Amino acid sequence: MPRVTDFSVAVVGAGPAGLYAAEALTKGGVRVDVFDRLPTPYGLVRYGVAPDHKSIKSIARYLQRVLEHPGVRFFGCVELGGDITREELLGCYDAVVYSTGAMVDRRLGVPGEDLPGSIAATDFVNWYCGHPDAAGHSFDLSVEEVAVVGVGNVAVDVVRILAKTAAELAETDIPVAVLDELSRSRVKRVHLIGRRGPAHAKFTTKEARELGELPAASVSVRPEDLELDVESAALEAADRHVRGNLAAMRAWAGEPAEGRERHIDLRFWRAPVEILGTDRVEGLRVERTELVDGKVRGTGEYETLPVGMVVRSVGYRSVPLDGVPFDERASVIRNEKGRIAEGEYTAGWIKRGPSGVVGTNKSDAAETVGVLLSELGSRPRPVTDIESVLRAKGVEFVTYQSWLGLDAAEIALAKSLSRGERVKLGTWDAMRAACPPH
């Protein structure tokens, strides 16, 4: 049997889950090649974490050390299913780990959802985070009122970006074109809509407090929405997170909307039932809700919000990979502790669903890699070299050294604009020019 250091594993996805898996594999003496369809590593740390959350984005510095390990190689601009097949990967490696995340939005399922001005939070986040696929997106920020449906951290991120001024965002890595468009925003009021009550909000207390600290935006919540039913009161008593959120929101109860440039309006116990408009979004109809036996039901009391844009942020789901068993209902790869089949494994959101924080992926990846290492050598050794396969197919890939060229270009751009540590290059053409493929 070959020594463990003779083994090589492909990790598909260069986000936190994939890189934590790569780190665990190198500790097991395994050589690792990390693939991503983008020329950039770090996944959601780069394209999902809000640009003003610099402390979270600093996780990239830790992940950078994984990519700089002598036993790790980076292959950017290589897409599974397009540039390389599952069968080709399995022919080149002793095992493959799929860590492609969950970046497709879930829908509201209400009339009017396809009207112009009704958008997915995933699209809006990709745009302000500088994802090259979103470079051509355009959002009508000439409207004065926006509704954001959902009460998770992503929803609060969207609200905060909409409520901040361009001057407040200038020190972030937001691309130049995006910051220019945000500077022309006429949004004055942002409604955050939750189907359940404040005790059920999924955002963290840190996110809640950040809303209350915005210089240019006031925040309010209706006192009646903070009246707790028996279930909500039990949650408050048992959960420190819930207590922190409620304490922040109680401080905003009844706050006036006047006096600042923008206002954030938290509306709990409301469920969207229809997005109104003829040629574009002209309003959002919501129904008052209540809890009955732990389930949300409508009360028959309706209200129309005069919004010109609706952003849905009600969850993410993963996309199936060709030939890999997928649970459509749960939107995850079918697996047992990360094991899919002989030689195939998974980690991250596509393994467990969109849950936890960035750091959750470390223990998740460790579980998968533990199973993988225990089974190494159980299948025939690979006989094909991945570089020869890619070159034979004419696939031009980006190496880690090439990515460092793009990294340096973004740092230099920020310096030239006096805009903090980095300003992202947000188009495919600009990124390719900064890190030409091999």
Q: Compute the average pLDDT of residues 217-246.
A: 93
**What are the structural domain ranges in the chain?**
4-102+318-397, 104-315
Neighbour count for residue 216 (Cβ, 10 Å): 13
Which uninterrupted H or E stretch holds 55? helix 54-57
pLDDT in the model for residue 171: 94
Record the tokens describing residue 183, joined without a space: 């500077």
Question: Do the beta carbons of residue 195 and residue 271 sit within 8 Å?
Answer: yes
Q: Compute the average pLDDT of residues 385-398.
A: 95
The percentage of residues in the chain with a pLDDT greater than 90, rounded to a whole number, is 82
Q: Which residues are annotated as a binding site for FAD?
A: 17, 44, 80, 349
Q: Which residues are annotated as a binding site for NADP(+)?
A: 195-196, 207, 356
Identify the burial level of 142 via C-beta atoms within 10 angstroms of its C-beta, where 0-12 means exposed, 13-18 middle and 19 or more buried.
exposed
What do you get for the CA distance between the two ends of the chain, in Å?
35
For residue 94, report the phi and psi dihedrals to the nearest 5 degrees. Answer: -75, -25
Query: Between the CA of residue 410 and those of 46, 83, 88, what are the distances in Å?
Result: 13, 27, 34
Query: Between the CA of residue 222 and those of 100, 170, 244, 438, what are the distances in Å?
Result: 40, 32, 18, 57
pLDDT in the model for residue 214: 93
For residue 1, name the pLDDT band (cuts at 50, 70, 90).
very low
Q: What does the chain come to in residues?
A: 438
CATH number of the structural domain 4-102+318-397: 3.40.50.720
The percentage of residues in the chain with a pLDDT greater than 70, rounded to a whole number, is 98
pLDDT in tens, 113-145: 999 999 999 999 999 999 999 998 989 999 999
**Is the pTM value of this prediction over 0.75?**
yes
pLDDT at 3 over 90: no
Q: How far apart are CA 303 and CA 283, in angstroms?
A: 10
Compute and round to an integer the Cα radius of gyration of the chain: 23
Q: Which residues are annotated as a binding site?
A: 17, 44, 80, 195-196, 207, 349, 356
Q: Compute the average pLDDT of residues 329-351.
A: 94
Q: How far apart are CA 248 and CA 118, in angstroms?
A: 29
Q: How far apart are CA 24 and CA 36, in angstroms?
A: 18
Q: Compute the average pLDDT of residues 173-187.
A: 96
Q: How far apart are CA 358 and CA 165, in angstroms?
A: 27
CATH number of the structural domain 104-315: 3.50.50.60
Q: Compute the average pLDDT of residues 165-170.
A: 95
pLDDT in the model for residue 372: 97
Q: Compute the average pLDDT of residues 377-393.
A: 89
For residue 275, is it left (φ>0), alpha (ψ between -120 and 50) or beta? beta
pLDDT in the model for residue 272: 97
